[in-house]
Amino acid sequence: MTHAAATVDQMLPPYPAERGLDVYNKKLGMWVFLASEVMFFAALIGTYIILRFGAPGEWAKPGVVLNIKITAFNTFLLICSSVSMVKAYAAIQDGDPKKMRFWLLMTILGGAAFVGIQVYEYIHLIEHGFLPSGVREGSELAEKVAKGELPAATMGLYGSTFFTMTGFHGFHVTCGVISMAYLYFTKALPGKYSKQDYGGIETVGLYWHFVDLVWIILFTIVYLI
């Protein structure tokens, strides 16, 4: 018998006889990456739950520190951007790159607006004396603590968890906006996407829906409950 180099069957494409998953690499890679993102946010959210339920006293009531109305609008905005992402995806599947470009742009704008509003919210909160370390002395919130409207013992944990969770979510949204903008200018505008090739849109879309989903969880547990 011989031990020559690879025995190659000229007729076979390089795919396993036992199929891989019926998805292309980019998409599979994104799913795998999202699994790791789930674990990352699980660590942050798990920490929040443990700290909140093990806290030495009451947790601040919803709506006293955080402005629920603005954030509810922001949540609505992010959900809309998820819808427009679906529209962009549907458009390119139908082979309509022009429509796809429009909806992709809408998604980018929606995401950017979300980040903008979040930055505004942070500035506002910090001005009022809400910091990752707790409440700034001599600030408006410090007076509320003094009057007993806010629990002194847990404000430090409140600040720590709030800024870390929403901050990292905001960071993820920012990354999403940047990647979509990159795809918009390098792929969508030059017309590189078509009915046959829209992997980039689908992949970034998966990420975008994930980020949206995380926000809905965060909004519920941080702002509403």
Please, which residue, 108 or 125, has the CB nearer to other proteins? Answer: 125
Q: Is 44 in the site for other proteins (CB under 8 A)?
A: yes
Give dist(CA 173, CA 171) in Å, integer: 5
DSSP string, 70-131: HHHHHHHHHHHHHHHHHHHHHHHHTT-HHHHHHHHHHHHHHHHHHHHHHHHHHHHHHHTTEE
Give dist(CA 198, CA 205) in Å, integer: 11
State phi, psi for 35 to the nearest 5 degrees: -60, -40
Q: Is 53 in the site for other proteins (CB under 8 A)?
A: no
Please, which residue, 32 or 69, has the CB nearer to other proteins? Answer: 32
Q: In degrees to the nearest 10, what's the CA dihedral of 220, 125, 170, 85?
A: 70
Please, which residue, 75 or 207, has the CB nearer to other proteins? Answer: 207
Please, which residue, 73 or 156, has the CB nearer to other proteins? Answer: 156
Q: Is 22 in the site for other proteins (CB under 8 A)?
A: yes
Q: Which of 104, 135, 145, 157 binds other proteins (CB under 8 A)?
A: 157
Please, which residue, 18 or 147, has the CB nearer to other proteins? Answer: 18
x/- letters, 182..211, toward other proteins (CB under 8 A) = --------------xx-x------------
Binding positions for other proteins, rule: CB under 8 A: 1-25, 27-29, 32-33, 35-37, 39-40, 42-44, 46-47, 50-51, 54-56, 131-134, 153-154, 156-157, 159-161, 163-164, 168, 196-197, 199
